[in-house]
Amino acid sequence: MRSVHHAFGKRDVVQGIDLDVAPGEVVCLLGPSGCGKTTLLRIAAGLEVLQQGRVALNGGDIAAPHARHVPPEKRNVGLAFQESALFPHLTVLENVTFGLKHEPPKERRLRALALLEQLGMDGYADVYPHMLSGGQQQRVALARALAPAPQLMLLDEPFSSLDARLRDRIRDDTLHVLKKVGAATLLVTHDPEEAMFMADRIALMCDGRIVQTGTPRELYCAPCDPFVVTFFGEVNELSGEVRNGCVDTPVGAVDAGWLAEGTRVRVMIRPEALHVVERKVADTGHRYSHIIMAKLLGRSSLLHICAHGEDGREAHLHARMPGVFLPADGQPVDIHLDSSQVFVFPSVAGTGTG
Ligand code: ATP
């Protein structure tokens, strides 16, 4: 899609979106609630009439300002939503074969059974939807969307109504099937972990615009602005100033050599960037830090730390250490900074934290 704009009344909810999905690629539209993800998906599906820009499938316009609006059923796209309703009076097999009207019955049946098997639903072909759990219904809905082998799959929060354990399994199966059939897929989610698991590329949206597009690794390891950093999880934020190519913080100096001397900056430090080591001997030397509180969260421990810089500045920070690491309250600690998880951005008026 190119330069896609969309407004509801006077409110612009999609503003100048350019996005490509290659055959076999899974692209996740990720972003907070209300940023325009579903609207964009509905435009691609033809459920919203395009207002500005163009949408093409396989090189041919399916929606453009002076072109005919191609209705959803003629677009060769597969749709599955959060609560995809199955036809209650049809069996699972009949639901999945529903869109395969042009094929001989035997082929229809074989294709549907193969998809059901790939999604872990073999043995349910003759069952009616009301006899299935929510997770099973969602699998059938995915199989139904995939059955006509669409060029483009459009999935809107397809796993969000499932409980956590089931969700992981269905995500896994779905990704496997999507890759096997080689469909181009656009998947909407507000869950960064889901996007990182499912996506070849993520398009992170905010207020109707794409802020950054890239592989999960690019967005996580090379975020282009503070919004991208914060979207992928909790972050400690400090302010500072560039001096001799660095920013001094209570947990060490951070490289900022690409910024002009004196630039005011935001330093964003992921809790995982702080490696905490207990001090064996009480030390009153510089960079003295101590534990305020330690909590076990299961696979990791969250430490609330008070760090003191050389200049006497104090900062309260969260550190996350793998496994069980629970120093006593007040325990002196040393902190080592993993610079790959620290990001420095120039402060913009009104966005700094002072
Ligand atoms: P969520 O994750 O909550 O579903 P989203 O990112 O998918 O959010 P959209 O559903 O695309 O966001 O909605 C974008 C904005 O457009 C929201 O503010 C929403 O209230 C508004 N909106 C969506 N559909 C309509 C509509 N039919 N009429 C008026 N406003 C709408």
Reported confidence tier of residue 281, pLDDT bands at 50, 70, 90: low
The reply to whether 163 and 282 lie within a common domain is no
Pairing of strands 332-337, 289-296: antiparallel
The reply to whether 132 and 277 lie within a common domain is no
Return the CATH number at 71: 3.40.50.300
| Domain boundary residue, one of 180, 196, 222 | 222
Q: Give domain status of residue 353, yes or no.
A: no
| Domain boundary residue, one of 187, 222, 257 | 222
- Does pLDDT of 90 surpass 80? yes
Task: Compute the distance from residue 145 Cα to the ligand 1 centre, in Å.
Answer: 23
Q: Give domain status of residue 351, yes or no.
A: no
Encode pLDDT of 106-125 as tens digits.
Answer: 888 999 999 999 888 989 99
Helices and strands: H and E segment counts in the chain: 8, 20
238 has which bridge partners? Answer: 267
* Residue to mutate, 28, 37, 154, 194, ligand 1, most ligand atoms under 8 Å from C-beta: 37
The reply to whether 243 and 217 lie within a common domain is no
Question: What's the pLDDT at 22?
Answer: 94
The reply to whether 251 and 332 lie within a common domain is yes
The reply to whether 215 and 75 lie within a common domain is yes
Pick the closest to residue 241 from 346, 351, 313 (CA basis): 346
The reply to whether 166 and 281 lie within a common domain is no
Encode pLDDT of 2-21 as tens digits.
Answer: 999 999 999 999 999 999 99
* Residue to mutate, 14, 33, 39, ligand 1, most ligand atoms under 8 Å from C-beta: 39
Structure tokens of 298? 């299961």
- Does pLDDT of 23 surpass 70? yes
- Does pLDDT of 264 surpass 80? yes
The response to whether residue 34 sits with its C-beta less than 6 Å from ligand 1 reads yes
Reported confidence tier of residue 354, pLDDT bands at 50, 70, 90: very low
Residue minimizing CA distance to atom 19 of ligand 1 = 34
Average the pLDDT over 130-148 and give the result.
89
Contacts of 243 (CB under 8 A, 6+ apart): 261, 262
Provide the Cα torsion 305, 338, 216, 188; round to 10°: 10
Whether the predicted interface score ipTM is above 0.95: yes
The reply to whether 247 and 175 lie within a common domain is no
Task: Compute the distance from residue 38 Cα to the ligand 1 centre, in Å.
Answer: 7
Q: Which atom of ligand 1 is nearest to the CA of 42?
A: 11
The response to whether residue 35 sits with its C-beta less than 6 Å from ligand 1 reads yes
The reply to whether 45 and 74 lie within a common domain is yes
| Domain boundary residue, one of 222, 253, 286 | 222
The reply to whether 148 and 270 lie within a common domain is no
Reported confidence tier of residue 284, pLDDT bands at 50, 70, 90: low
The reply to whether 148 and 196 lie within a common domain is yes
Pick the closest to residue 122 from 168, 173, 80 (CA basis): 173
Cα gap 62→1, rounded to integer Å: 10
Contacts of 195 (CB under 8 A, 6+ apart): 28, 30, 187, 189, 202, 216
Q: Which of 62-66, 137-141, 348-352 has the highest mean pLDDT?
A: 137-141
Question: What's the pLDDT at 99?
Answer: 81
Higher pLDDT, 206 or 279: 206
Number of domains in the chain: 2
The reply to whether 162 and 253 lie within a common domain is no
- Does pLDDT of 351 surpass 60? no
Q: Where are the beta strands (DSSP E) in the chain?
A: 2-8, 11-17, 26-30, 52-57, 60-63, 77-81, 152-156, 184-189, 201-206, 209-214, 236-243, 246-249, 252-255, 264-269, 274-278, 289-296, 300-308, 314-322, 332-337, 342-346
Reported confidence tier of residue 233, pLDDT bands at 50, 70, 90: very high
Return the CATH number at 314: 2.40.50.140
The reply to whether 194 and 272 lie within a common domain is no
Q: Which domain holds residue 184?
A: 4-222
Q: In this structure, are residues 317 and 202 in contact, taking their beta carbons and an 8 Å threshold? A: no
Cα gap 199→190, rounded to integer Å: 13
